[in-house]
Structure 1
């Protein structure tokens, strides 16, 4: 994957028979935030490759505290609400999915700074398609309007088809002889109505 700087977290049960979910699910986040002092350290490909995995490892480590963790918890709680997976352990759920951030550069030290970044760079789009090609997700859940607006209308195999009921946020893309379903949601860190999105997840059956 020549254009990918931050390689995705791939749960140990993703795409495996013991996965909680019947589909291979990619959770598509926005961007990584880091202190300015750490940005230079990410010049190393090894360090950048481990960065997303490090974030998810820290999230699953209960001894590590931080308000940022609520974003991941809020999303997953609403994603499995009302399903057979509702009582599964947090580790089981996150180990059954992938997580990848769209922007392939560090976006400053906090989410408010992402407004200064261009989400239409060709490198980020190519990196996204490389991830889809390598890991073959069946379903992509996209966090936030900036990423949703940057996702191309065509993955290279034809334009998407909008869902009849959720035509504003749920698309089916042809991609290299198969289909990939993409659902765009509000970012769980802000303006996120858990009950609304829980209903959408259940109606579209992306969480089975």
Structure 2
């Protein structure tokens, strides 16, 4: 499916593609987060060169589960992401669902979208933000470009200002409309900022309304 070999090394990092992605009632939407992180005490992702030269076979079962993008989303949709560490998915789905489709369980909105992390190496500390290396940017550029060319989203939203700082340039270079929002677990999600023109949580639904993501809007 993908021409980039990165996912052959780390198949658990493959993006989530919802079962209803691309159906006629909505446009194809890709949501991009920042990165995964590994459990406290893990040293597997501390060295960028070693991480990208290696593969997930060297990880423990616990580490593998923490970077399993599709597995995390699929397992938690029915429960609406109860763990705080997964609230990026919960909070994004909640705000989109207020405007579109109106599911009783807001997490079901994720069946209509694709999701990936921009950085393909986990952050160095549990719950932390990645310390970006040049190799992280090189791999992210190739991986995101490959994914967009493969699944041709109509719209892209970034749920991380750090990811959006670099990724928005790539997405726009590929001719796709995108927007950058703060991380849904950060203080700026529920605060008003002039740079956002309001609450951080409103950026994504406002962008989707503007670009008529769903016919029900």
Q: Which TM-score applies when normalising by structure 1?
A: 0.72
Work out the number of aligned pairs and report it.
182
Alpha-carbon offset, residue 14 of structure 1 = 0.9
Of 58, 80, 95, 2:75 maps to: 58
Higher helix share: 2
The 1:63/1:204 distance shift into structure 2, 3 A limit, reads: closer
Structure 2 CA distance for partners of 1:134 and 1:109, relative to 1, 3 Å: same
Counterpart CA distance in 1 for 2:200 and 2:177 is: 21
Closer, same or farther in 2 for the Cα pair 1:186/1:71, shift >3 Å?
same
Contact 1:78 1:197 in 2 (8 A): no
Q: 1:125-149: per-residue Cα shift (whole Å, max 9, x none)?
A: 1111011011111111111111111
Contact 1:34 1:110 in 2 (8 A): yes
The yes-or-no answer on 1:117 pairing with 2:132 is yes
Residue in structure 2 matching 1:187, options 183, 186, 210? 183
Change (3 A) 1:144 1:64: closer
RMSD: 3.2
Shift of 1:43: 2.1
1:196 maps to 202
The Cα offsets for residues 76-97 of structure 1, whole Å up to 9 and x where unpaired, read as 12123234x1235435311111
- Runs of 5+ in structure 1 lacking a partner? 161-172
Query: Residue 34 of structure 1: CA displacement?
Result: 1.5
| C-alpha separation in 2, matches of 1:188 and 1:64 | 13
Taking the aligned partners of 2:139 and 2:93, their CA distance within structure 1 comes to 29
Counterpart of 1:167 in structure 2 is none
Q: Report deviation, 1:99.
A: 0.8
* Equivalent residue, structure 2, for 1:22: 26
Which deviations, in whole Å up to 9, do the C-alpha atoms of 1:47-97 show, x marking residues without a partner?
59x8111221232242974112332222112123234x1235435311111
Structure 2 distance, partners of 1:63, 1:93, is 11
Aligned counterparts of 2:103 and 2:114: Cα–Cα separation in 1: 20
